[in-house]
Structure 1
Amino acid sequence: MKTPCETIVWSIVPVIKREFAKNLLNISGLTQREIALKLDTTEASISRYISGKRGVLELTDDEISNEIKKSSIKISKENGQTAINEICRICKLIRSKNIIDNIPDTC
């Protein structure tokens, strides 16, 4: 049995980063290298997010999708700490909406 924190690290955060990567590429026009720097990860990870090999869960909640787009725009204009703050903000939103089973809002 996974702990709630394991579920977040292995399932939720990759989905958030995947959506950020896709938005930064398509909306902001950043390169994979620039995206990797913004998200403090490798270009290889960004390639996997964009190709759909990492972060495979689908987000179907419109509010979360809209918030991710807003965050992506903010990340494109600011430094790496912004990405960390926005990942945490989106994660809290996902947890508060009980979209994923076994992740209490208090985790």
Structure 2
Amino acid sequence: MIYITIVASMTLKIDCEEIVWYLLPLIRKEFAKSLIKDHGLTQRKAAEKLGITEAAVSQYVLKKRGDLKVKDVKIRQEIKTSTKRIMNGDFQVMKTETCRICHLLRVQGIGKEK
């Protein structure tokens, strides 16, 4: 079943659109920042861990993508937990952690304000 959300501009967006346009960039930005800052990875190594380009990581670091912010302390802690798992895991771990954080953000209503 696909759920439809009405956004402020009175257009309809399906949940998948909100995830792709707002939540996925936010999650990738937070993961990239944590991998670089907390785990000492280069942008290139962070990109490899996340399965994205080095240019995308650069844009996240320079705040050109993923403009939403995570203010909830519990979710921020979960993101840190996820990056530890990503550091020690493979691509499947990264996919699982991305979905887990996405679910937490959606439960909190983050991404709906766009």
TM-score (norm 1): 0.89
- Identify the residue that residue 67 of structure 2 maps to in structure 1: 56
Identical residues among aligned pairs (%): 45
Query: What is the letter of the counterpart of residue 5 of structure 1?
Result: C
Quote the offset at 1:93 in angstroms. 0.9
Equivalent residue for 1:71, pick from 82, 85, 96 = 82
Q: Any unmatched runs of 5+ in structure 1?
A: 103-107
Q: Distance in 1 between matches of 2:68 and 2:109?
A: 15
Quote the offset at 1:36 in angstroms. 0.8
Task: Give the alignment's Cα RMSD to 1 decimal.
Answer: 1.2
* Residues matched between the structures, number: 102
In terms of Rg, which structure is larger?
2
Q: Which has the higher strand share?
A: 2
TM-score (norm 2): 0.84
Quote the offset at 1:4 in angstroms. 1.6
8 Å CA contact 1:37–1:80 kept in 2: the answer is no
- Identify the residue that residue 91 of structure 1 maps to in structure 2: 102
Q: Which has the higher helix share?
A: 1
Q: Distance in 2 between matches of 1:81 and 1:34?
A: 17
Quote the offset at 1:87 in angstroms. 0.5
